[in-house]
Structure 1
Amino acid sequence: MKTALELHETELDPTDRAFLAQIREHGWFGTRVFDPEKKELDFTYSTGFFHGLSHPEIIVFSLPKQVSHDILWDIYRNIRAGNVPKPEIRLSGIFGNHQAVLLPVSRDLYAEHLGWSQWFYRGDDFPCLQLIWPDRAGFFPWQPDFDPAFASDQPDLTDGSWAGLMI
């Protein structure tokens, strides 16, 4: 698979070079997308997990910048050490005492959320998983007891709907 790492230096601007330097040095880069006026949800996503670890990229919504970055770093290190999180099952150890779930992101939503990853992979030919966090009581957005105060904090980026999930 071709990536932006193969581009000639003349094809890169300073921002591109800095982005690629981070991937070369650390194996991945975390992109934070935020709206200072809070009209859109904040989110963070990885670029480089698939290239270096053959693991889908990961996107997570509505967490503080440092928290989301630290979580992605922990996941990256765990994958590199052979502890690969499985999608569509409840996972422990990501959010302290609460579980998490990784669900496949629809490629139809890549352009809206994964711009740098699309640039890096030269298109949409890479997988991505959405890291879903529960409410304070441990309920996920698709569960009837999920706290409605958090209902708009994580959009459903799957191909279908969260409604009816039994995870």
Structure 2
Amino acid sequence: MSDQPVCHCLLCVEREVELDQADLRTLRSVRDRGWAIVMIPEDEDGPGWAFTVGLWHTLRSPEVVMLGLRVDVMGNCLGTLADRIAAGHHLVEGRERDDVIRNYPVVAKAVDTSWYRSLFGTALHFYQGPPLPFMEIVWPDAAGRFPWNDGCAPRLRELQPALWIPKDEHAPGPWTKLP
């Protein structure tokens, strides 16, 4: 008997579910490549974000999310990271890695489930709800300081919420206003 949780995603379990074009693109990408990257662009309400769908299904790796950069940059970073995970370079919470953004480290932090509905609707639909793990890929300011470091650029904290903190305990901002 396997210790791995059973996957209940749209590819593993047959069920009658209505799928739109975005769902079909996600399914094709996960089936063909192993994962998809969903990009939510910045708008008048706040910064953009990007996340993966399929890493859990394909590799039993947590899905990953980046926030606050241009979506094309985050999409490229997440694609690079997914390739590295597929090559056996797994995520370790709290450990810096230097293979995502050139000349800058990033740190993976486990996302509290209270953020899932606000940020990861496509993933929840694909997996037919939790449980599935997500990790936030946190990037530093130009001086290499992370949001939790003294002296980090204040704007960095606005662009990247601390998703490891429950949503109702997080400092108010554009991220906590998401439904």
Question: Structure 2: how far apart are the matches of 1:149 and 1:73?
Answer: 25
Equivalent position amino acid for 1:77 in 2: D
Corresponding residue for 2:34?
27
Q: CA deviation at 1:8?
A: 4.8
Question: For residues 38-117 of structure 1, what are the structure 2 equivalents within 5 Å?
Answer: 39-117=45-123
Deviations 1:110-156 (A, max 9, x none): 00011011011111110000000000000000111101232201011
How has the CA–CA distance of structure 1 residues 138 and 35 changed in structure 2, closer, same or farther, with 3 Å as cutoff?
Answer: closer
Equivalent position amino acid for 2:157 in 1: A
Share of identical aligned residues, percent?
27
More displaced 10-residue stretch of structure 1: 131-140 or 85-94: 85-94
Question: Structure 2: how far apart are the matches of 1:114 and 1:26?
Answer: 20
Corresponding residue for 1:137?
143
**Secondary structure at 1:94 match in 2:** strand
Question: Structure 2: how far apart are the matches of 1:10 and 1:34?
Answer: 27
Q: CA deviation at 1:73?
A: 1.2
Question: Structure 2: how far apart are the matches of 1:108 and 1:44?
Answer: 18
Q: CA deviation at 1:30?
A: 0.8
Question: Structure 1: how far apart are the matches of 2:68 and 2:154?
Answer: 15
TM score, norm. by length of structure 1: 0.88
Q: CA deviation at 1:9?
A: 6.8
Q: Is contact 2:106-2:139 (8 Å) kept?
A: yes
How many residue pairs get matched? 161
Q: Is contact 1:44-1:59 (8 Å) kept?
A: yes
Question: Structure 2: how far apart are the matches of 1:73 and 1:80?
Answer: 10
Structure 2 spans left out of the alignment, 5+ residues: 1-6, 171-179
Alignment root-mean-square deviation, CA: 1.9
Equivalent position amino acid for 2:19 in 1: L
Question: Structure 1: how far apart are the matches of 2:91 and 2:15?
Answer: 35
Corresponding residue for 2:159?
153
